[in-house]
A = this chain, B = another copy of it.
C-alpha cells in the first residue's frame, strides 16, 4: 500500500549539509583536506543504501523477536551476524577517526547525517556500531599505547565490540554511589568486583569478544564522584597472545518497551575473583573521562531521537496520501478523500515536519560544531565552537527526545485505529522514542546540566556565545528579507530568555534548589528558541534558492521549508513567553509540597 519509506528525505539532508551548514567549507581545514563533496557523497550513499536495503526491512522482525538471555549469554536476532560485518565494511566504526588508527577522517557532521539514516531505519541494530565506536574512541583518547593495541584496535577493525558499563542498580544516575571496586594487583592490573545494570549491547553472540569500559572505585579512593576511575574490563582478556575468560558474567536482561534488538543487560564482574581491569587515564579521573563519552553519547541520542521522529513522519505522510476516509469539512464529494485533505491531518503532519526537520538541523549543527571544536582553523574558532557545543549538547539530546516523542505520538494518531495495531510501525517507533528521555541522562539531569553547570556554572559566559550566534543569524535573516514578524518574534523571545535566566540566577543565589526547580521548563524554553534559530536559517537558505533561480525544479521542497519555518514562528515560538511566565511565577510548590500532600 505504501511506497517505501525514505526514512529521511535526501533533498533535505543535502540542503542541510551544503546550503545551511556549508560542510564543503570544512575541507579547507587541514584535518579534512583529503575530502571533497564527492567523498562525502560516497559515504552518504553507502549509508543510505544500507539503511534502506538492509536495516529497515529487518526492523519489524528485530522488534518482534527481541534479543534474549538464554541463561548463559545473550542471543541476538540472527540479522546481526549479517549486519555487523556490513557496518565494518562500510567503515562506520572509524569514519571520523584519524588515519593512524585506520580511519577516514570524515567530518563528524557528514558521518552523523549518514548515520541518521541508520538510526531511523533500525536504531537498535545501528547502535551496536555506535557503542563500539564510542568505547574505542575513549581508548584512543586516553588509554596507553599497549591497551590501544590490545583492546582498541580489534574494535576498530570490527572483530570485537565495545560497551560502556556505568550504571549500578542501587546508584542509578547517582554516580557518586558507585560501589564496583578495583583492587590493585601486582602485575599492574586491577581485580574488579561489582555489578552493573542497563548495559546496552553488554553481551552478544556475533563478536569474538566484548570490551567493557567500567567505572569503579579503587580501594581507598575518596568518596563521591572524585574517587571514580575508568577501566577496560574485557569479556575475554588477552594473555600471552591468547584470549582467556575474564570472569565477567551476564546475570540478566531487561525486557524493554522498545530498542528491542539491542539487549540491555546486567553484568557481574569478578564473581570468582579473576576479573582483570586495566586503568584508563589517571586514577580517580573516571568522571572526567566519562564526560567525553557521555557528550558523544548524548549527541548520539539526539540524532537517534530526531531520526525516530523523522521515519515516523515519513510513514504518516505516505499513509495520509493513500488512506481515504471521510469528506472535507463543508465540501461534498461522492467518495471518501485521502485523509491528507483534512486540515487536522495536515496540522499533525506539519507539526511533525517542523519538529523532525528542526531537530535534525539542530543535531547536525552540533556535530558541525564538534568538527570545528576539534579541527577549527584557529584557537578562537575552536574555543567558540566548544562553548556552543557544551551548551547545546543537553538541549539537542533532550529536545529531540521530548519533542520527538510528541511527534511520534502524532504519527501514530494520523494512522487512527491502525496506528494502535502492531501491523503498522508507528507504535514501534513510539516505543523506541520513549527511551531517549531516559538513557544517557534523564531529561531532568540534562536540564540541570544546561542551567546549573553550563549557564550558572560559567557565569553566563557560554550563554553569551549562544546569544551572539542567534543575534547574528537573526540579523542575517533580517537583511535577507525574512518576514519582520519572525525577526521580531525571535528578538522578543531571546529577550525573554535573557530575562528568565536572570530571574533564575537571582533565585539560585538565594536558594540553589529554587533556582533550579524549573530547569526542565527552562530547557524547553531554550530549546524552542534553538529550533527557531534553525528554522530561521533554513528558511533563509530556502528563500535564497527560490529567489536566485537555483531551485532546480524543487520549488515545492523549498516552499515547504518556508512553510515549516512560518509554522514554528507562529505556533511554537509563542510557548517561550508562556514558559517564562510560569517559570517566573514565584511558585515554589515543587519544593514545599510533601509526600503526604501528594
Q: Could you list which residues of chain A lie within 8 angstroms of chain B, going by C-beta atoms?
A: 167, 170-174, 176-177, 197-198, 254-258, 264, 317, 320-321, 323-331, 336, 340, 342-347, 349-350, 353, 405, 409, 412-413, 416-417, 419-423, 427, 430-431, 434-435, 437-439, 442-444, 447-448, 452, 511-513, 516-517, 519-520, 556-557, 559-560, 563, 566-567, 570-571, 574-575, 577-578, 581-582, 585, 587, 589-591, 593-598
Question: A350 to B590, Cβ gap below 8 A?
Answer: yes
Question: B176 to A595, Cβ gap below 8 A?
Answer: no
Expressed in whole angstroms, the Cα–Cα distance for A187 and B346 within the complex equals 50
Q: A171-B325, A255-B423, A257-B420 are in contact. Are A347 and B590 (CB under 8 A)?
A: yes
Chain B residue contacts of A412, Cβ below 8 A: 434
Chain B residue contacts of A255, Cβ below 8 A: 421-423
Question: A520 to B344, Cβ gap below 8 A?
Answer: yes
Question: Which single residue of chain B is at the shortest CB-CB distance from A167?
Answer: B417
Question: B434 to A420, Cβ gap below 8 A?
Answer: yes
Q: A346-B593, A346-B598, A444-B344 are in contact. Are A254 and B329 (CB under 8 A)?
A: no
A-B contact pairs, 10 of them (CB 8 A): A330-B512, A344-B519, A347-B520, A349-B598, A353-B598, A556-B596, A567-B589, A570-B582, A574-B582, A577-B578
A301 CB → nearest B CB, Å: 13
Expressed in whole angstroms, the Cα–Cα distance for A254 and B173 within the complex equals 38
Question: B430 to A413, Cβ gap below 8 A?
Answer: no
Q: A329-B448, A434-B412 are in contact. Are A585 and B597 (CB under 8 A)?
A: no
Residue in B176, B416, B556 whose beta carbon sits within 8 Å of that of A438 in the complex? B416
Residue in B325, B340, B578 whose beta carbon sits within 8 Å of that of A173 in the complex? B325
Expressed in whole angstroms, the Cα–Cα distance for A347 and B448 within the complex equals 14
Expressed in whole angstroms, the Cα–Cα distance for A437 and B415 within the complex equals 12
Expressed in whole angstroms, the Cα–Cα distance for A198 and B419 within the complex equals 12
Question: B171 to A336, Cβ gap below 8 A?
Answer: yes
Question: A598 to B256, Cβ gap below 8 A?
Answer: no
A8 CB → nearest B CB, Å: 14
Question: A172 to B587, Cβ gap below 8 A?
Answer: no
Residue in B198, B347, B421, B556 whose beta carbon sits within 8 Å of that of A417 in the complex? B198
Chain B residue contacts of A512, Cβ below 8 A: 329-330
Chain B residue contacts of A575, Cβ below 8 A: 578
Q: Oligomeric state, in number of copies?
A: 2
A344 CB → nearest B CB, Å: 4
Question: A336 to B438, Cβ gap below 8 A?
Answer: no
Main secondary structure on A side of the interface with B? helix
Expressed in whole angstroms, the Cα–Cα distance for A317 and B419 within the complex equals 31
Residue among A264, A427, A566 having the largest count of chain B Cβ atoms under 10 Å: A427
Given contacts A350-B598, A420-B438, 9 further A-B contacts (CB under 8 A): A172-B323, A174-B325, A197-B417, A321-B595, A330-B511, A343-B516, A344-B520, A413-B443, A574-B581
A504 CB → nearest B CB, Å: 13
Expressed in whole angstroms, the Cα–Cα distance for A405 and B409 within the complex equals 10
Expressed in whole angstroms, the Cα–Cα distance for A438 and B412 within the complex equals 10
Question: B444 to A419, Cβ gap below 8 A?
Answer: no
Expressed in whole angstroms, the Cα–Cα distance for A362 and B324 within the complex equals 35
Question: A421 to B590, Cβ gap below 8 A?
Answer: no
Question: A413 to B427, Cβ gap below 8 A?
Answer: no
Question: B435 to A420, Cβ gap below 8 A?
Answer: yes
Residue in B336, B344, B434 whose beta carbon sits within 8 Å of that of A174 in the complex? B336
Expressed in whole angstroms, the Cα–Cα distance for A235 and B566 within the complex equals 54
Expressed in whole angstroms, the Cα–Cα distance for A357 and B349 within the complex equals 32
Question: Which single residue of chain B is at the shortest CB-CB distance from A437?
Answer: B413
Question: A598 to B317, Cβ gap below 8 A?
Answer: yes
Question: B405 to A419, Cβ gap below 8 A?
Answer: no
Question: Which single residue of chain B is at the shortest CB-CB distance from A259?
Answer: B420
Question: Which single residue of chain B is at the shortest CB-CB distance from A596?
Answer: B556
A66 CB → nearest B CB, Å: 10
Q: A430-B434, A563-B597 are in contact. Are A327 and B570 (CB under 8 A)?
A: no
Expressed in whole angstroms, the Cα–Cα distance for A581 and B173 within the complex equals 40
Question: B421 to A438, Cβ gap below 8 A?
Answer: no
A136 CB → nearest B CB, Å: 25
Question: Which single residue of chain B is at the shortest CB-CB distance from A573?
Answer: B582
Question: B405 to A328, Cβ gap below 8 A?
Answer: no
Q: A581-B574, A598-B349 are in contact. Are A343 and B566 (CB under 8 A)?
A: no
Expressed in whole angstroms, the Cα–Cα distance for A447 and B350 within the complex equals 19
Question: Which single residue of chain B is at the shortest CB-CB distance from A258?
Answer: B420
Question: Which single residue of chain B is at the shortest CB-CB distance from A323?
Answer: B172
Question: Which single residue of chain B is at the shortest CB-CB distance from A518?
Answer: B347
Residue in B320, B323, B557, B598 whose beta carbon sits within 8 Å of that of A560 in the complex? B598
A552 CB → nearest B CB, Å: 15
Expressed in whole angstroms, the Cα–Cα distance for A462 and B594 within the complex equals 41
Question: B257 to A422, Cβ gap below 8 A?
Answer: yes
The list of the 9 closest CB pairs from A to B, nearest first, reads A330-B512, A560-B597, A255-B422, A174-B326, A344-B444, A556-B596, A343-B517, A172-B325, A578-B578
Chain B residue contacts of A574, Cβ below 8 A: 578, 581-582
Chain B residue contacts of A321, Cβ below 8 A: 595
A238 CB → nearest B CB, Å: 32
Chain B residue contacts of A517, Cβ below 8 A: 343-344, 347
Expressed in whole angstroms, the Cα–Cα distance for A590 and B430 within the complex equals 24
Chain B residue contacts of A342, Cβ below 8 A: 444
Expressed in whole angstroms, the Cα–Cα distance for A431 and B174 within the complex equals 29
Expressed in whole angstroms, the Cα–Cα distance for A511 and B254 within the complex equals 54
Question: B571 to A174, Cβ gap below 8 A?
Answer: no
Expressed in whole angstroms, the Cα–Cα distance for A444 and B325 within the complex equals 13
Chain B residue contacts of A448, Cβ below 8 A: 329
